[in-house]
Structure 1
Amino acid sequence: MQHTPAAESRKGGDRRSPFDRFVEWSHSKASQAPFFFVCAGIVVTWLISLPLWTDLKEWQTAIHTVPSVVTLLLVVLLENASRRADEAAQEKLNVIATALAALMASNADTDPDLRKAAHALRDAAGLEERH
């Protein structure tokens, strides 16, 4: 079996930074049902705790402050995970497009339209790197 550069890079093990591993772990946990139920439980506990608070503004501030900070952190982490997923998908598409262009070029000797299409596909595969 022929090993491609992508396959070779996977053989080296996990070379992600601790932050990247943390982002993946956070993304995995935040996108599952238990995380939702923990958040819903916090809100229900907050609602039930109303009689324990003497000041209504403090009660409202309690639910606004901590979730706002957690939301900000989660948005940043999830955007990071999304960006990396998009980059990985784009890399896969580029590899497929390059392979298809090579296949088209190998059969383009008799068909000038196929030669033009192969050239256009190769140009498109590197398009996102130029913008």
Structure 2
Amino acid sequence: MKFDRFAQWLANRSGRPMTFAIALVLIIVWGVSGPLFDFNDTWQLVINTSTTIITFLMVFLIQNTQNRDNDELHIKIDELLRTTKRAHKALLDLEDMGPAELHALRKHYQRMGEHDSAKASRDAQEKDTSD
């Protein structure tokens, strides 16, 4: 649980404009310092290594926060489905379905949406002709 809190805290800080500004300033300082170091291999290695390490760590941080956000969203949607009388309760267990089942369910809902859309168009046309 400590890692989750740390990851959320760090994600909140890393996504701020000030953090971007600091990173931009560091890159500019590095670039401007090039002539001082004759653009040598060590000078290039500093930025390459630094950015690689930061990127590597950020991948795990981002994945953690996305997993958490995903879980929170699923719980909220599950609660809405659970409390809606006309909702299909089978939708609460989508995580357990295989790809073929999910694809079939998606097609089913697309057909339902097309049917509802066509019905709404007919209703709108009938309303226009009756006015």
* TM-score, normalisation: structure 2: 0.69
Q: Does 1:27 align with 2:4?
A: no
Counterpart of 2:118? none
Bigger helix share: 2
Segments of 4+ moved more than 2 angstroms: none
Shift of 1:56: 2.0
> How far apart are the structure 2 equivalents of 1:129 and 1:65?
41
* Number of corresponding residues: 98
Residues 1-131 of structure 1: pairs in structure 2 closer than 5 A = 17-54=1-38, 56-100=40-84, 103-104=85-86, 118=87, 121-130=88-97
- Counterparts of 2:32 and 2:97, CA distance in 1: 55
Give CA deviations for 1:26-49 in whole Å, capped at 9, x if unaligned: 110011101101110110000111
User: For the aligned residues, what is the CA RMSD?
Assistant: 1.5
TM-score, normalisation: structure 1: 0.69
Show structure 2 runs of 5+ residues with no match: 99-131
Unaligned segments of structure 1, at least 5 residues? 1-16, 105-117
1:129 Cα deviation after fit: 3.8
Question: How many percent of aligned residue pairs carry the same amino acid?
Answer: 24
